[in-house]
């Protein structure tokens, strides 16, 4: 349900942040400072967030549909 999708989204965000920490080593930009930067246009940032969240939701729904169809055919 919606709670599971939100949990997966939070997990994906956590993984992305950890990957950013690894990639920012040696670039001269401290990770904490980079994460705290605010985009100049918050409307665009929020729109990008909505697009990414909706895309993740669509992928998870499609995956659930495939699993359900596979289960029906397996019976």
**Residue bearing tokens 């985009």:** 39
Average pLDDT over residues 39-58: 83
**Helix residue ranges, H only, the chain:** 2-23, 31-36, 42-74
What 3-state DSSP class applies to 40? coil
For residues 10-22, give the mean pLDDT.
Answer: 81
Specify the 3-state DSSP secondary structure of 27.
Answer: coil
Mean pLDDT of the chain: 81
pLDDT computed for residue 43 by the predictor: 84
Tell me the whole-structure pTM to 2 decimals: 0.46
């Amino acid at each position: 349900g919606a709670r599971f999708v939100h949990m997966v989204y939070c997990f994906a965000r956590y993984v992305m942040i950890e990957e950013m920490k690894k990639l920012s080593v040696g670039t001269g930009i401290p990770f904490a400072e980079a994460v705290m930067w605010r985009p100049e246009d918050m409307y665009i940032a929020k729109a990008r967030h909505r697009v990414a969240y909706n895309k993740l939701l669509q992928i998870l729904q499609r995956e659930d549909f495939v699993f359900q169809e596979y289960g029906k055919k397996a019976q």
